[in-house]
Structure 1
Amino acid sequence: MKRILVLHGINLNMFGRRDSSHYGHLTLTAIDERIQALAAELGVQVECFQSNREDELVERIHRALDDGTDAVVINAGAWTHYNYAIRDALEILKVPVVEVHMSNIHAREPFRATSVLAPVARGQISGFGVLSYLLGLRAAVDLLEEQG
C-alpha cells in the first residue's frame, strides 16, 4: 500500500478559528478526517502531521527519506512564502511533492503569490478550501500510478 505524508505548517492548527472567508469553517481535525476518508477510498495510507515549529516539520520531512513515504502533500502555511529550510528539505526527497493551499494565494496579498516551495513541487493546488487537500491527495496518487 502506498504511503502519503500530508504536512500542515504553521498556524494551520487554527483552521476553524481563522478567517472563514479564506479558510472555511472546518477544523484541522475535520480536514484530516476527510483526507483519511479519501485515502481509504483510494487504497492508500496517509499520515497527517502538523507543526508550528520549523525544526519539527523539517525533521518529519527528513524521516520521510527512510520511512517508506511514497509522496508528500504539503500546505506550509505562511512558511510557503519564505522558508528555504523547508524547501531544501523537500528538495532532498526523491518522491512527488504536491503543494496545496486552502485559499487562492494568487488572489490575496502580493507576498502570498510567491512560493519558495513551488520549484521543488510537481504542482500546486490552491483556492478550493478543503478540496485543495483532496485534489492534492488525488494528484499524488495519480503521480505514483504514473511511476508504476
Structure 2
Amino acid sequence: MNQQFLLAIPKSAGLAQAAAASLDLDIQLVVIDETRYYSDDVLYLAGKVFQVYAYDANRVTHCCEVTPSYQLHPVATQALNCPESEEEREKIDEMLRSELQDVIYMHCRTVEVMSDKYRRAHHMIDRDLDETYDKQLESVLEHIRCNPPCVAPGRAGCIVM
C-alpha cells in the first residue's frame, strides 16, 4: 500500500486492519486524573492520583460502536503529594502498586482534544513486519514501564521527558 496515501489519512480514521498492521508505531503518552477510583486511605496520603497511559496513535479500535477509540495501556502511576519521609513515600508507592491497572479504551476525539499539558508524543517506532504487532507493542510498553516518564501534574507540560 502507498505509504504517502496512508500518511495523509487522519490518525483516528478507520483503517483496514491490514493497512494498520504495516504502519509504524506512533507511541503517545497521556496523563489522566484517576483520583476518584482510589480509596480514602490512598487519597489521604497521595492527595491526587494520576495515571500515565501509552497508546499507538496509528491504531484504533471500534468498541461495538462506529466511533473509533484508542487502546490506552497503563505505564505509570503518580501521586500528587511527595512527603518528606521516605517511609511515607514507600507506603504511597506500595498502595498505588497494589491497585491493578487495566487497559482502557477512550474515544480518539476525546484524547486528541486534550491539552498538550496532558498529552505528549513519545516515540515513532518502525514497524517490524517479522514480529507480530502485539509482541512489538508489548516490547515497547515494557521499555516505557522500566523507564517511566516523569509526571509533573498541574504544571505546563505535565509529562516531563
TM-score category (smaller protein): under 0.3
How high is the TM-score relative to the length of structure 2?
A: 0.26
Of structures 1 and 2, the larger Rg is shown by 2
Greater per-residue strand proportion: 2
Greater per-residue helix proportion: 1
How high is the TM-score relative to the length of structure 1?
A: 0.28
